[in-house]
Amino acid sequence: MKWYDFIIVFIIIYVIASIVEYSVHKYVMHNPFPSLNYIYESHIYHHKNASLNPNLNLEEDDDNLCIPIDKSIYMYTITVVFSYFVLLFYPKKIPFVYIGICVLIILLFAVLIWNTYHPIIHGLDGRKVCGIYSFPSEQINKNSEYTSFIINNHKAHHYYKNDEKGNYNITLPFADFLFGSYNVIP
């Protein structure tokens, strides 16, 4: 493999991880799914709590504010499996270990971003609510374009309802643009 193959493979795995995040959020968290109904009910409870407050402020005990590392194992496994099968079609052999490491880096990033920004969006400090699996709020540049995008993207997810619902990518933006479900609050 050449050096650029590693970059291409990393981008392919990022796209797969974004599609997995989108799919789990849209089809499991927003639709009752047999045997995973508890995820749906917990997520809908989160939406109802957030919709009661126009600032989206929530209580610290909301189960959806943080992603514990052990819960991210499911997303890790799904993403590794899909990545492995997609990369079977890549013209060069990709070491399975490299796939696993790429997925681990991407999903650890996603967990850190979720656990940092999601509490901020809902009026709380990520470090106080999610512990060490987040960046301290005081170290976040709240005026950066990235922060603005992440916050506005998630607010739009709470803003739109029913058929207009979108913005399912909270931490790994791509699939919403691919599937035409990215919305901006007017």
pTM of the model: 0.86
- What's the average model confidence in pLDDT over 147-170? 89
Side-chain half-sphere CA neighbours of 16 within 13 A: 25
Segment 32-85, tens digit of pLDDT: 878 777 777 777 776 766 665 555 555 555 556 788 777 788 888 999 999 999
pLDDT at 18 over 90: yes
Question: Going by C-beta distance under 8 Å and a sequence separation of 6 or more, which residues neighbour residue 126?
Answer: 66, 115, 116, 117, 118, 119, 120, 134, 135, 136, 137
The set of residues, in sequence order, having a beta carbon less than 8 Å from that of 57 and lying 6+ positions away, is 122, 123, 124
Residue 54 pLDDT:
52
**SS percent in the chain: helix, strand, coil, step 5:** 60, 0, 40
Which structure tokens are listed for 111? 């967990």
Q: What does the pLDDT read at residue 69?
A: 77
Q: Which residue, 94, 88, 150, is CA-closest to 119?
A: 150
Average pLDDT, the chain: 85
Res. 121: pLDDT tops 60? yes
